Structure 1
Amino acid sequence: MTAIRFIHSADLHLGSPFTGMRGLGAEQWKTLQDSTLSAFGRLISYALETRPDFVLIAGDIYDEEDRNLRAQHRFQQGMEQLAEAEIPVFLSHGNHDHLSGNGAAFALPDNVYVFKEHVENVELTVNGASIKIAGFSYGKRHIAESMVDSYPQAESGVIQIGMLHGSEESDTEHAVYAPFRKEQLLAKNYDYWALGHIHKRQHLSEEPPIIYPGNLQGRHRKESGAKGFYDVSLDKGQASLQFVAVEAVRFERIAIDCSGVQHMNEVFTACEEQLADYETALVAELELYNLGEAALHMLESVVPTELLETLREALSEGERFIHIAKLSFDSNQSMSEISPFGKQIADRLEGWEDRQWKQALTELYNHPKSGRFLPPLSDELREELRAGAERKIRQLMALEDQT
């Protein structure tokens, strides 16, 4: 087998609106809004510098079927750059950018092949080697049926790659789209399966590789960690994968060791020191742990929103983008003094959704005299109410001293 090299990317979600993000400064907000486009720009720059044989984009180029005009234009420009460098691109549309969606439909250059609604097996030649890439695009928003049977078996002497935007039948965390079983993909005897749809990086199989690269840019706290694509080499039946991180803003949950902390300035110093290693822009949820009794008492006496805002201000000094989305204490530690029933109540409050908070506060917000003076029910206010309720639970339902 002749050695080939390609980029496997998926789930670009260009133009994602980033709804629900609060407390950001104007420059931070712009950086976050532009982050999907910035990550895509880094992919294009990497391809131009390293010159892969081709690029695969396995679905969900855009965030919704009603496509952002700016995102379409930026994508078209990127494809033009790859065309000038004579780098072929093979793309399939997924559930978020299906072929029936609305949009201005910028014309893409000839180096880009867009898969149709039915499974196709497109052939190209690289350094004398015959390569076939099988895939399809979503013609509608939701494809519930399996498409695997439509993929051809691999032929002898041909490097066969499959592109599939879908989910495993056994996956209970995500809505099922174009479902498949790993055994079905293995039975096709392909050299590589380039998957899309799941935003978490996953290797379903190593030999042959069946790979989710994840999305290019995290968009909320559940899409944490490094985000990017794979640089893949296939040589004599062996695959070599290099993950390339390109996110412009990283979402991360970070544990802050507060051993020995007694004063508030020491809390701030611990946060600053443990965030110093992050070079990229950062949206973080901080959990303070190893808190002594004095530190816990100090922190629980402070208004949560005031502590959060002050910490944001302290960490955002200078040109660095560090935004603290949430601040919490180690649940095992801070709950240790609460009775089992009290802990159950506090845990339930932690999982409340917007509708549950609104239902609980309906009478207060609808009061004819006081309702008009109340602030909007923001994320920060909900967190303050939850923390206050937790403190009250601790006071009323603390375990008696058993010694």
Structure 2
Amino acid sequence: MVFVTVTFIHSADLHLGRTFTSLRTLPQPIYEQVIESSFRALENLVNQAIQSKVDFVLFVGDVFDSESVSLRTYLRFRQQMEKLNEHGIHVFLSYGNHDPIREDHQTVQWPDNVTVFTDETVTSETYTISSGQVVNIYGFSYTKKVISSNKSHEYIKTGHADYHIAMLHGHAEGQSGHDPYSPFSVQELVNQPFDYWALGHIHKRQTLAMNPPVVYPGNIQGMHQQEQGEKGCVLVTLSKKALPVITFVPTANIVWFEEEIDITHIETLDVLLQVINERKERYRKQSTFLLLRFVGSGSLHEILQSANERDDLLWAVNEGEDEQYPFVWIVDMNVHTI
């Protein structure tokens, strides 16, 4: 018997249409890039799917930032789905707590290659990939913003498909920083006879188990300074004769990082400005929001305690960045000096 692999992209938490209100004070050229960043990340994801010739793409909830994003947001998402359709790539989509499904979602019709889980009860869809392998994909959508019940028990393996993949937008026990919607324990998922658990809701990328894989891919674009580092999706290959291969694919158009600067041997503001600018250039390969953290002790300690002095320092290090591409913008300075 010949075993054929199935390859797909697992993504979640796109939050398309987010307005980034906390960043509206940025210079207009940079703010416009921020508004575009999630769409650019989606384009990067779609290009990767096409390049990798995947069998399908999973979007596991919170595709949109709210249930009432603009028509333009829906249309731009549809354009990318049409691009996947042109390459014979199917899409399975569920809605999450940010974008619970509503009747007016249907005002924009998705292309024929998009299958939406429209019910809050777990259902399954059968899909045959080009190799002839049959895949059963299970999922549900939020029809309201809050689901407090454990949905994991609704996932019941059915049929005789070659692969069984579960999509679940919810909160794994022990996670922090997100509301505990549709809560579950990892053990409850591992005990189920599925080949892969495609999770959404938690924005931090993590693999919670490997037998079978239980995976949060994280979000595709960092949205604030608590979401630092590379963001993206995962490219997954499942096989009946080999271990799963799960590869992170970066998609973010703008990244967030924190940089630590020790002031112990820095005597003047001129030298500090030089150090900051040198550190900025380390990130210049990609548009970056940088949070500076000052540590150590020295003659600049007192100056850095002043909010006015820090504001002037921020102005100096950010001057002209709105004309740079890629930009490196210092978003804040945290002082932990003594």
Return the TM-score normalized by structure 2: 0.91
Give 1:200's aligned residue: 204
Residue 229 of structure 2 is aligned to residue 230 of structure 1:
no
Letter in 2 for 1:30: E
Post-superposition shift, 1:202? 1.4
Query: Offset at 1:157?
Result: 6.4
**How do 1:3-402 residues align onto structure 2 when only pairs under 5 Å count?**
3-21=5-23, 23-100=25-102, 102-103=104-105, 105-117=107-119, 118-126=121-129, 127-153=131-157, 158-235=162-239, 236-278=241-283, 279-290=285-296, 292-300=297-305, 303-313=309-319, 318-329=324-335, 331=336, 333-334=337-338
Kept after mapping to 1: 8 A contact 2:264/2:298: no
Q: 1:272 Cα shift?
A: 2.1
Tell me, what secondary structure is at the counterpart of 1:138?
Answer: coil
CA deviation after TM superposition for structure 1 residue 193, in Å: 0.5
Query: In the aligned structure 2, how far is the partner of 1:314 from the partner of 1:26?
Result: 13
Instruction: Please give the secondary structure, in 2, of the residue aligned with 1:45.
Output: helix
Distance 1:90 1:309, change over 3 A: same
Alpha-carbon offset, residue 101 of structure 1:
6.7
- 1:253 is aligned with what amino acid? E
* Unpaired runs of at least 5, structure 2: none
Matched length: 331
In 2, the alpha carbon distance for the partners of 1:182 and 1:313 equals: 48
CA shift, 1:9, in A, is 0.4
CA–CA separation in structure 1 for the residues paired with 2:82 and 2:274: 47
Aligned residues: CA RMSD: 2.0
CA distance in 1, matches of 2:324, 2:238: 45
Q: CA deviation at 1:201?
A: 0.8
Q: Aligned-pair distance for 1:7?
A: 0.3
C-alpha separation in 1, matches of 2:4 and 2:124: 20
Cα distance change on mapping 1:263 and 1:316 into 2, 3 Å: farther
SS of 2:270's equivalent in the other structure is helix
Q: Which of the pair is proportionally richer in helix? A: 1
- Matched letter for residue 285 of structure 1: L
CA distance in 2 between counterparts of 1:110 and 1:86 reads 10
Q: Give the Cα–Cα distance (whole angstroms) in 1 for the partners of residues 263 and 214 of structure 2.
A: 41
Distance 1:152 1:169 in 2: 21
Shift of 1:228: 0.6
Q: TM-score, normalised by structure 1?
A: 0.77
Distance 1:141 1:102 in 2: 16
Q: Which structure is larger by alpha-carbon Rg, 1 or 2?
A: 1
The structure showing larger relative contact order (alpha-carbon pairs under 8 Å, at least 6 residues apart) is 2
Q: How many Å apart are 1:10 and its aligned residue?
A: 0.3
